[in-house]
Amino acid sequence: MFVRMTSRAIHIGQMCEKKLRVLLDMDQVLADFELGFFQEYRKKFPDYPYIEMQDRVGFFVKDQYEKMFSYIPNIGNAVAKIYKTKKFFLNLPEIEGAVDAAKMLAKMEGVDVFICTSPIEKYKYCLAEKYEWVDKHLGPEWVGRIILTKDKTMANGHLLIDDKVDITGAIERPSWEHVVFSANHNMKTDIGKRRRLDNWTNGDWKELIEDFKMRI
Amino acid sequence: MFVRMTSRAIHIGQMCEKKLRVLLDMDQVLADFELGFFQEYRKKFPDYPYIEMQDRVGFFVKDQYEKMFSYIPNIGNAVAKIYKTKKFFLNLPEIEGAVDAAKMLAKMEGVDVFICTSPIEKYKYCLAEKYEWVDKHLGPEWVGRIILTKDKTMANGHLLIDDKVDITGAIERPSWEHVVFSANHNMKTDIGKRRRLDNWTNGDWKELIEDFKMRI
């Protein structure tokens, strides 16, 4: 009798177990879009003016370049050419500590991790290269964790770690709470009451996750 | 005073407005994977045995071929070769009436439509070709409605129209109710208490949507 009760209790416990579903943005949270862009832009357009990485303001690099260098015809096209080029997304470097942290996160008890990423409008290379990047840096088992969507409010997670400050979509109150991953472009942006995660290296992410685990 | 009250009432009305979020699966709901497969398989392997489309049973075409023609070495590879080939996904024909119905659905008041689709494991061509298919058949504004995910339980909709009977993932009780879109392969499958949508042509889908709109 005792054995049967224990067995049932374990079964009920498993049924009720709720895992924290963490959504990790890809560009600027796992893959360093800004560094990749800067390096390629300087290489491809060495005579063009540029914005130092620490001076980047606002989410879209193209917007800032067009505003600052409006005297150069087609500066926007030059910028866009960089990230529309084959292998740009594939060759992006890692954000420091991101891959190790993501792997640790995925091994944590009570946590399900997904990569929630939006493709650029010119999706020809970007889509498969995002998958390849994940495959190469995190491993093939991570490919099944990718959620590609322009509208991140549609992803049913508890926590979204994302460097983009304004994330809107079909759902006015998404299931997730947005934690802003710090990047040069958002350091001066008002993020209201939201929390920040500054990096993957000082260990703060572990406390953040433990805190969220307590709250679901 | 009257004007101000009216204005506020409208504002509150808009705030409370909840749209029905419909997730449409792609293969066999919008794009005819089975027909595309059958035609290409017959063309590429005219001497191989085949399964008539009306005799397809079970979600994975490869599984049934391997089971029925186990005496042919590498029959599974031959099958997989079809859908791993460049332009296979791009050239899939439309499911009858699907594109017109989807366009009408997207124009219905109180409805938000998304395309929720899982890529095949060999994602090299499949990803961009799914986007291209949507672009070509439904229009460029539909590309932003694509949610590519292996785990559809992670998509936060109210209704998922999908021909796959077993849809599981990280969330045991997804936000959506699954309506099974009829296909040859699922006609003999027990779908429990779930509803079916048999086609896009007889107008039943409109009643289904109106019914769901009442329930959210």
Helices (H), strands (E): how many in chain B? 7, 6
Q: Which of A112, A145, A147 sits opposite B147 (nearest CB)?
A: A147
Q: Is A47 a catalytic residue?
A: no
Catalytic residue among A27, A32, A162, A163: A27
Q: Nearest-CA distance from B62 to chain A in Å? A: 20
DSSP string covering B194-208, please?
A: --EE--SSSSHHHHH
Task: Please identify among residues 119-148 of chain A the ones whose CB lies closer than 8 Å to any CB of chain B.
Answer: 119, 123-125, 127-128, 131, 143-148
- The pLDDT of residue B16: 55
| Residue environment code for A139-167, b if the CB has 16+ CB neighbours within 10 A, otherwise e | eeebbebbbbbbbbbbbbbbbbbbbbbeb
Q: Tell me the average pLDDT across B67-83.
A: 97
Sequence-ordered list of residues with C-beta below 8 angstroms from that of A164, at least 6 positions apart, any chain: A25, A59, A186
Nearest CA in chain A to B142: A150
Q: Which of residues 29-88 of B touch A (CB under 8 A)?
A: none
Q: Which domains does chain A have, with CATH numbers?
A: 17-32+92-215 (3.40.50.1000), 35-84 (1.10.40.40)
Average pLDDT over residues B76-84: 98
Q: Which residues of B touch A19 (CB under 8 A)?
A: 170
Query: How far apart are alpha carbons A180 and A196 in whole angstroms?
Result: 5
Q: To the nearest whole percent, how much of chain B has pLDDT over 70?
A: 93
Tens of pLDDT, residues B48-62? 999 999 999 999 999
Residue B64 has pLDDT above 50, yes or no: yes
pLDDT for A15 equals 52
CB distance A74 to A62 below 8 Å: no
Closest to A18 (Cα-Cα) out of B27, B170, B195: B170
> What does the pLDDT read at residue A10?
45
Do residues A149 and B147 make contact, with C-beta atoms less than 8 angstroms apart? yes
Structure tokens at A80: 């866009």
- pLDDT score of A17: 72
Across the interface, of A144, A151, A156, the residue whose CB is closest to B175 is A156
| Selected catalytic residue, list A25, A32, A162, A163 | A25
Average pLDDT over residues B128-141: 98
Annotated catalytic, B27?
yes
Per-residue pLDDT at B187 exceeds 50: yes
The residue written with tokens 């509150």 in the block is B12
Distance CA B155, CA A156 (A): 6
Q: How far is the C-alpha of B22 from the C-alpha of B19, rounded, in Å?
A: 9
Alpha-carbon distance A101 to B87, whole Å?
Answer: 37
Residue B50 has a pLDDT of 98
B216 near A CB under 8 A = no
CA atoms within 13 A on the CB side of B147: 31
Q: Which residue ranges in chain A fall short of pLDDT 70?
A: 1-16
- Mean pLDDT throughout B97-117? 98
Q: Tell me what the pLDDT averaged over chain A comes to.
A: 94
ipTM for the complex? Answer: 0.92
**Is-contact A97 A200, C-beta < 8 A?**
yes
Asked if A123 lies within 8 A of B128 by C-beta distance, the reply is yes
